[in-house]
């Protein structure tokens, strides 16, 4: 009954829309990969620490989405010409103040789940959390909004890839490993592919609203090449980590999907079909994480 009420309640549906649940794999996958790598490196992993880590990551992700929804609406970046999903604030379903409040509450929840990690691993957790909390807002807001300066892909590679995976491995093992950096680079690159496709889809709208993404600054062809390079880096990292054995076949479905994504975005000009390519890129990220886990357990 509670779920029926939730999904039928207009206000709750608006909050769900603003939270952008389809983006959550970008928060969950790095923790999944980090735990799998920790098991490969040490032969063990802690489910409780994994739970606190993934919950912290998810609430930071949702806070980022709320800030993004409100700030893009303030700046006029989400218009009726938008090709992507409806945005709750721009559509008038939620007020800017309400969405900001929801974002700060999400950061508070992230801090609550992060506290046991701080008690377990100490100050490095603060060093990871502080910039992550700020950039939940600073991705689209503040004096240097990364998404408006062409730094979105770099931010995702660093924080949804390298920092998230290395941080998870550190939480699990108490040590820093070069393997965690390489795995984080791979996950970050595949996550950044989603940002690039999103920005290619919105290139005309962003250009009109002075949102200087890499697609706006560099042009379509250059970003298509960037997508190809990021996918190539991700699978090169898999070879570095696991060698050239038969176990690499686990990555084949994800790799073939990556090739299909490249072919698809090359063959279509920006439009609503790019929403399909975004879903394909999200599936590639999940398939890659699954292949990574199978290699770590083999």
Single out the residue of 136, 180, 135, 138 nearest to residue 162, CA to CA: 180
Candidate from 76-90, 107-121, 247-261, 283-297 with smallest mean pLDDT: 76-90
CA distance 242 to 258: 19
Tell me the pLDDT band of 117, cut-offs 50, 70 and 90: very high
Task: Return the minimum-mean-pLDDT range out of 50-59, 94-103, 156-165.
Answer: 94-103
**Domain ranges within the chain, ordered by starting residue:** 11-297
pLDDT of residue 262: 94
- Over residues 253-279, the pLDDT tens digits come to 999 999 999 999 998 888 889 999 999
In contact, 36 and 297? CB cutoff 8 Å: yes
Q: Considering only 22-26, 42-46, 245-249, which range has the smallest mean pLDDT?
A: 245-249
- Residue 89 is predicted with a pLDDT of 67
For residues 45-58, average pLDDT = 95
For residue 95, the model assigns a pLDDT of 76
| pLDDT exceeds 70 at position 114 | yes
**pTM beyond 0.75:** yes
What's the pLDDT score for residue 177? 96
Q: Is 16 left (phi over 0), alpha (psi -120 to 50) or beta?
A: alpha
Q: What is the mean pLDDT of residues 220-231?
A: 94
pLDDT band at 87 (very low <50, low <70, confident <90, very high): low
Asked whether the predicted pLDDT for residue 3 surpasses 50, the reply is no
Q: Look at residue 79 and tell me whether its pLDDT is greater than 60.
A: no
Distance (Å) of CA 129 to CA 36, 111, 132, 135:
22, 8, 5, 10
With a pLDDT cut of 90, the percent of the chain lying above it is 62
77 pLDDT more than 60: no
Question: What is the per-residue pLDDT for 1?
Answer: 46
For residue range 130-169, list pLDDT tens digits in order.
999 999 888 888 888 888 888 989 999 999 999 999 999 9
- Spatial CB neighbours of 247, under 8 Å, sequence gap ≥ 6: 294, 295, 298
Mean of all residue pLDDT scores within the chain: 87
Residue 29 is predicted with a pLDDT of 95
Q: Identify the CA nearest to 34 among candidates 182, 180, 132.
A: 180
Confidence of residue 76 (pLDDT cuts 50, 70, 90): low
Which range has highest mean pLDDT (85-94, 209-218, 239-248)? Answer: 209-218
Higher pLDDT, 101 or 111: 111
* Short-list 152, 181, 156, CA closest to 166: 181
Q: In this structure, which topology does domain 11-297 adopt according to CATH?
A: Farnesyl Diphosphate Synthase (1.10.600)
Mean per-residue pLDDT for 60-82? 75
Enter the tokens of residue 2.
Answer: 């509670």
């Amino acid at each position: 009954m509670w779920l029926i009420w939730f999904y039928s309640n207009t206000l709750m549906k608006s909050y769900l829309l603003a939270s952008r649940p389809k983006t959550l794999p970008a928060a969950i996958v790095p923790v999944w990969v980090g735990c799998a790598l920790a098991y490969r490196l040490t032969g063990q992993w802690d489910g409780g620490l994994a739970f606190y880590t993934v919950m912290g990551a998810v609430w930071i992700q949702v806070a980022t989405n709320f800030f993004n929804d409100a700030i893009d609406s303030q700046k006029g970046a989400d218009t009726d010409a938008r090709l992507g999903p409806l945005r709750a604030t721009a559509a008038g379903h939620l007020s800017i103040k309400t969405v900001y409040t929801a974002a700060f509450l999400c950061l508070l929840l992230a801090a609550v789940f992060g506290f046991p990690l701080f008690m377990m691993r100490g100050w490095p957790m603060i060093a990871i959390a502080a910039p992550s909390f700020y950039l939940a807002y600073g991705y689209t807001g503040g004096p240097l909004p990364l998404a408006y300066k062409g730094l979105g892909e770099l931010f995702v590679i660093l924080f949804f890839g390298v920092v998230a995976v290395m941080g998870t491995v550190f939480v699990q093992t108490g040590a820093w490993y070069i393997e965690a950096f390489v795995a984080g680079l791979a996950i970050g690159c595949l996550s950044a592919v989603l940002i690039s496709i999103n920005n290619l889809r919105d290139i005309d709208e962003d250009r009109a609203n002075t949102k200087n993404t890499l697609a706006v600054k560099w042009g379509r062809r250059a970003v298509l090449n960037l997508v190809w390079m990021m996918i190539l880096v991700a699978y090169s990292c898999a070879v570095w980590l696991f060698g050239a054995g038969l176990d690499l076949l686990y990555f084949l479905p994800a790799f073939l999907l990556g090739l299909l994504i490249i072919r698809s975005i090359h063959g279509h000009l920006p439009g609503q079909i790019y929403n399909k390519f975004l879903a394909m890129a999200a599936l590639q990220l999940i398939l890659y994480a699954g292949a990574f886990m199978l290699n770590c357990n083999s």
